[in-house]
Homo-oligomer: A and B are copies of this chain.
Amino acid sequence: MIRRVSDDRPYHHGNLRTALLAAAERGLRERGADELALRDLAREIGVSHAAPRRHFPTRQALLDALAEDGFARLDSVLLTALEGTGGTAAHVRAVMTAYVRFATENAALADLMYTSKHRPGAERLLEAAAAPFGRMRELVLRGQSEGVLRGGDPDRLGMVLIATLQGLASMVNSAIAEPEQLGDLLETAFAQFVL
């Protein structure tokens, strides 16, 4: 059992991919995507500068993985919101609040999730996004069948709903709208969707 440099860390990290994602997520939250450097993460974790390459062949691959994970986290946040008490209308309100809360508390992550980079091979991201979008679609279907939501193609309505929420989060994140307005803005949006 030979140990490396300072005789404390094993040659193989064992969980480098996970460690990288965790460190990257923290860096993303605290300093933004532009400040994320693979070499910084490697130093922070204590591996060589080239080690991350085994798990993320390129910096963009790491950012994509972050975005993918972001959609999974968003999905679980929405799921939690749907577990609350109250009727469908209350659920809609809860989900709306939860979405915007998530997207404003993780502003840089939200940017990554909806970035418009030239990305030909982003199937993984789209699959990850399908989870929260599907969940929202189900809620819309339920709302329509109960008559609390406007009719029409549930896919379209769900998409417009998420778009509105993500747009509102963007306004706050870019400092165009003030965070204090968020409650009122959400209420205005809510009134448009719920009959």
Residues of A whose CB lies within 8 Å of any CB of B are 31-32, 34, 107-108, 110-111, 113-119, 122, 126, 129, 133, 150, 152-153, 156-157, 159-160, 162-168, 170-171, 173-177, 181, 184-185, 188-189, 191-193
Q: List 22 A-B contacts (CB under 8 A).
A: A32-B117, A107-B116, A108-B116, A114-B173, A115-B174, A116-B173, A116-B174, A150-B191, A153-B184, A159-B171, A159-B177, A159-B181, A160-B164, A160-B185, A160-B188, A160-B192, A163-B170, A163-B171, A164-B164, A165-B167, A166-B170, A192-B193
Seed contacts A114-B174, A159-B171, A163-B164; 4 additional CB < 8 Å A-B pairs: A107-B116, A153-B188, A160-B168, A167-B168
Check A192 against B116 for contact (C-beta < 8 Å): no
Check B163 against A113 for contact (C-beta < 8 Å): no
Which of A31, A122, A153, A160 has the most chain B CB atoms inside 10 A of its CB?
Answer: A160
Which of A150, A170, A181, A185 has the most chain B CB atoms inside 10 A of its CB?
Answer: A170
* Bound CA–CA A156/B168 (angstroms): 11
Interfacial chain B residues near A118, Cβ < 8 Å: 31-32
Q: Which residue of B lies closest to A71 (CB)?
A: B176
Question: A58 to chain B: closest CB distance in Å?
Answer: 12
Interfacial chain B residues near A176, Cβ < 8 Å: 114, 126, 129, 133
Check B34 against A117 for contact (C-beta < 8 Å): yes
* Bound CA–CA A163/B157 (angstroms): 15
Interfacial chain B residues near A171, Cβ < 8 Å: 114, 159, 162-163, 166
Question: A13 to chain B: closest CB distance in Å?
Answer: 28
Q: Which residue of B lies closest to A157 (CB)?
A: B188
* Bound CA–CA A129/B31 (angstroms): 24
Of the residues B126, B150, B175, contact of A192 by C-beta under 8 Å? B150
* Bound CA–CA A153/B177 (angstroms): 14
